[in-house]
Amino acid sequence: MTTLLVLGATGLVGGHLLRQALDDPRVERVVAPVRRALDAHPKLDAPVVDFDALPDDASWWDVDAVACALGTTIRDAGSREAFRRVDVDYVVDVARRARSAGARSFVLNSSAGASRSSFGFYLRCKAEAEDAVAALDYPSYTIVRPSMIGGERARRRALEHAVVRIARAGSVLIPARWRVVEAEAIARGMLDAAIVATPGMHVVESDAI
């Protein structure tokens, strides 16, 4: 039985991950640090935290595996620096704390095109987070790199929603690697990778999700 820490549990992918993990008999307990409260569940510990001042000594860091779907946009964050703080610093901070407490498996929802040499700041940050987590030497580390993510958001982002609709309509014309991937499927793959914890580092590109 696995104890799993889910990061980004109030988001689209993270919400699916949370529901799937709570329903999964292989998962004994779910820890989901959040900045706004979640509904109670007998298997869930969801501390409301300030990600700029995470507790050092909380017993809930003691998990087997971490699945991370945390992230924002430069627009929502307000600046590149604020975006990087969430998508890189928060992710790596949690990864480091969980690893110190004994976690052995980490699954990161990154992005298609993540690369240190990308022209896009977003994709360079995603690559930076990937590399920083790799340096923590998790015995099992899986990076999932979805293209556009499809699914029903609580707060619809108009441009993103339109792009996903167009991409879905023309999906046969789009190379598999750039097609819309459903959040539910991403979460399913992340949960399995976190629990099975195959040793080594694994990269799952969008067309393999």
Rule CB under 6 A: choose which of 4, 17, 67, 69 binds ligand NAP: 69
Give me the least distance between CB of 1 and ligand NAP, in Å please. Answer: 25
Q: Determine the straight-line distance between the first and last CA of the chain, rounded to whole angstroms.
A: 24
Q: Is 2 left (phi over 0), alpha (psi -120 to 50) or beta?
A: beta
Of 146 and 189, CB closest to ligand NAP: 146
112 neighbors 146 (Cβ within 8 angstroms): yes
Rule CB under 6 A: choose which of 38, 72, 89, 131 binds ligand NAP: 72
Asked whether position 11 contacts ligand NAP by CB under 6 A, the answer is yes
Rule CB under 6 A: choose which of 148, 195, 197, 204 binds ligand NAP: 148
Helix (H, G, I), strand (E, B) or coil at 78: coil
Rule CB under 6 A: choose which of 5, 31, 63, 86 binds ligand NAP: 86
- Is the four-CA dihedral 85, 206, 108, 44 of positive or negative sign? positive
Asked whether position 70 contacts ligand NAP by CB under 6 A, the answer is yes
Asked whether position 111 contacts ligand NAP by CB under 6 A, the answer is yes
What's the rounded Cα separation, in Å, for the pair 160 and 165?
9
Of 80 and 199, CB closest to ligand NAP: 80
